[in-house]
Structure 1
Amino acid sequence: MSGYLKQSPVSLQFVTFLGFAFGFFALYLYGLQAITPGVTGQTLEALQSGTLTDPNSIGYLKITQFLYTIIAFFVPAALFAYLWQPYPVKYLGLKTPSGLQVILALLVMYGCLPFANLLGQWNETWPISQSARDLQNMAEKLLGVMLKMPTLQDLFINLVLVAIVPAIAEELFFRGIFQRLIIKATGKVWLSVFITSILFSAIHGEMLGFLPRVVMGFTLGAIYVLSGNLWLSILAHILNNGLQVTMLYLFQHGMVKEDPMKNTPVEWYYVALSIPVIIGLFWALSRKSVPMVMTDPEKRKDGEEVEEIGADENF
């Protein structure tokens, strides 16, 4: 396996991956700035800050969001995995899950929502600058326009663009690559899951939704660590995003009364009851899985390797 990234120091692996990430993001941003005036007759800034009523403009923004997800997250992760070793699918842990594993992972994700909502209520009281609030309001406005769904076809399109594609791309990037690189660098599995969840939340750029995303990111990272199966994290991510899109569709058509775009108050005792349930679900998932151990084995002074949680031939 000579010539593969797995033989390089973890520092070089980090530099390579971050180079891919920043490079492809810069390429996307440059291309978007260059083609937007020709396609829409407006600059990108004017398009984002204006009143979006033209269906063509809305469609264009949806396309740019799709391309952003692919170019900024999917391509760097897929390219790094391809260069890491000859078996990128095996390296990422993309193996077929059992039905029980899928059910447990989805229940874990759903069970974490009360805790995420409770933290979200507190998060919304944070004192942030007016400029940060203005940026978040603009992002919410754009998202609200993009997620207007007068027809069932719009719902299916948004499920693909907002739930399925981002879940696959972001899980490959954050859990499949970034989290594993941090684990390899630090040797601390759960600290690395937490660090990754913070970055995952921060990169979305919404301070008033920071803590709920940290919870979601940590949950997804824990699912990956305990199961060794990235598909389970992807499916849990799809559930979270898809549930929000579906509930918004039902709200827009008067089938539910609560706006899912707003944080619904949750009582503390629901959270207290959900915590032992979540712990039990995580335990059951670990019992029904073969975790992909993700750290290097320690070595004794005489050179003999000692098996650790994380010792895996793929990493």
Structure 2
Amino acid sequence: FSTPIPFIGASLFFWYIIEKQTVDTLSFHEVKPMVFIVVALLVIGFMGFDALIIEWNQGMVLPEAMKGIEKWMKNSEEATGEMTKFLTTFKTPSQLIVALVVVAVLAGISEELLFRGVLQNITLRAFGNPHLAIWFAAFTFSFIHLQFYGFFPRMLLGALFGYLYYWTKNLWVPMFAHFVNNGFTLLMAYLYSTKAVKIDIEDTKSVPLSMALGSLLFTILILRWFWMNRAEVKYKN
């Protein structure tokens, strides 16, 4: 999320110049305002289960024959981790606002434009399979971050954004979901650093199994609601 401008530039160049598409084909169909409320609840509710996957992913150990790959993965994790720490360490409200703009707003717009708006659409047109398109875009979205000890939870998050986009046909929906995910995490980290809250959102080991399973159930129910009401959430043209 440290390169939003190149992401936006590359996306628009590829979409307009190479693919010769228009902004309409990115899908910005109007959706009802309640969709954004439900999306915010979904993203925050999903964090409990995602924390369980994060904990499992961070403890992953590769076989002896793959130690070279594991070393490269750890080096990449450390390098990108330093940048992440720099962007998410702040002590004043003004620093929090800057972080929200860069990490939540710009990252949400640029990454969703590239991975959902461009890559997912191109893959869908090429193969005609929405699930393949969604998961391929989610895989690429996670891989490009080069943080492999958070690969699987990030891929799940990317798939979540992908399905929201596919069902609503509105790119603002995954952009908003991305903003809520990053923004809520930043806000909670800031409140924890100022001792305003006692919950450390970055400590995934503090999430009980019962809470993680409850989070999964909540996520499934909300996704089922989206699936059942995918036609009703959009305004009629």
Report the TM-score when normalising by structure 2.
Answer: 0.85
Gaps of 5+ in 1: 1-61, 292-315
Q: Any idea what SS the aligned residue of 1:114 has? A: helix
Residue 74 of structure 2 is aligned to residue 74 of structure 1 = no
In 2 relative to 1, CA 231–131 (structure 1 residues): closer, same or farther, beyond 3 Å?
Answer: same
Aligned partner (choices 143, 149, 158) of residue 208 of structure 1: 149
Alignment of 1:1-315 (within 5 A): 65=2, 68-71=3-6, 73-83=7-17, 84=19, 87-88=22-23, 90-127=24-61, 129-290=70-231
Would the aligned equivalents of 1:109 and 1:236 in 2 still touch at CA under 8 Å? yes
Would the aligned equivalents of 2:58 and 2:150 in 1 still touch at CA under 8 Å? yes
User: Take 1:171 and 1:244, find their aligned partners in 2: how far apart are those partners?
Assistant: 18
The equivalent residue for 1:32 is none
User: Take 2:212 and 2:80, find their aligned partners in 1: how far apart are those partners?
Assistant: 29
In 2 relative to 1, CA 171–123 (structure 1 residues): closer, same or farther, beyond 3 Å?
Answer: same
Deviation at 1:96, TM superposition (A): 3.8
The aligned amino acid for 1:91 is: T
In 2 relative to 1, CA 226–254 (structure 1 residues): closer, same or farther, beyond 3 Å?
Answer: same
CA displacement, residues 243-279 of structure 1 (integer Å, 9 cap, x when unaligned): 1111121122122234333324433333333334323
Higher relative contact order (CA 8 A, sep 6+): 2
Deviation at 1:131, TM superposition (A): 4.2
In 2 relative to 1, CA 277–261 (structure 1 residues): closer, same or farther, beyond 3 Å?
Answer: closer
Would the aligned equivalents of 2:81 and 2:147 in 1 still touch at CA under 8 Å? no
Would the aligned equivalents of 1:116 and 1:211 in 2 still touch at CA under 8 Å? no
Deviation at 1:86, TM superposition (A): 6.2
Deviation at 1:185, TM superposition (A): 1.7
User: Take 1:277 and 1:97, find their aligned partners in 2: how far apart are those partners?
Assistant: 22
CA displacement, residues 36-73 of structure 1 (integer Å, 9 cap, x when unaligned): xxxxxxxxxxxxxxxxxxxxxxxxxx9xx3xx2211x1
- Give the percent of matched residue pairs that are identical in Structure 1 and Structure 2: 25
The equivalent residue for 1:58 is none
Q: Any idea what SS the aligned residue of 1:97 has? A: coil
The equivalent residue for 2:66 is none
The aligned amino acid for 1:136 is: E
The aligned amino acid for 1:178 is: L
Deviation at 1:132, TM superposition (A): 2.8
Q: Any idea what SS the aligned residue of 2:146 has? A: coil
Which of 189-198 and 237-246 deviates more? 189-198
> Aligned-pair RMSD on alpha carbons?
2.2
Gaps of 5+ in 2: 63-69, 233-237
Would the aligned equivalents of 2:80 and 2:146 in 1 still touch at CA under 8 Å? no
Deviation at 1:115, TM superposition (A): 2.0
CA displacement, residues 221-261 of structure 1 (integer Å, 9 cap, x when unaligned): 01011111111100000000001111121122122234333
Would the aligned equivalents of 2:28 and 2:170 in 1 still touch at CA under 8 Å? yes
In 2 relative to 1, CA 257–140 (structure 1 residues): closer, same or farther, beyond 3 Å?
Answer: farther
Task: Please identify the structure whose Cα radius of gyration is greater.
Answer: 1
User: Take 2:72 and 2:229, find their aligned partners in 1: how far apart are those partners?
Assistant: 48
In 2 relative to 1, CA 148–181 (structure 1 residues): closer, same or farther, beyond 3 Å?
Answer: same
In 2 relative to 1, CA 106–196 (structure 1 residues): closer, same or farther, beyond 3 Å?
Answer: same
Deviation at 1:125, TM superposition (A): 1.1
Q: How many pairs were matched up?
A: 224
The aligned amino acid for 1:248 is: A
Report the TM-score when normalising by structure 1.
Answer: 0.65
CA displacement, residues 119-174 of structure 1 (integer Å, 9 cap, x when unaligned): 11111111253443233223323322332222111110000011110110000100
More helix by share: 2
In 2 relative to 1, CA 237–150 (structure 1 residues): closer, same or farther, beyond 3 Å?
Answer: same
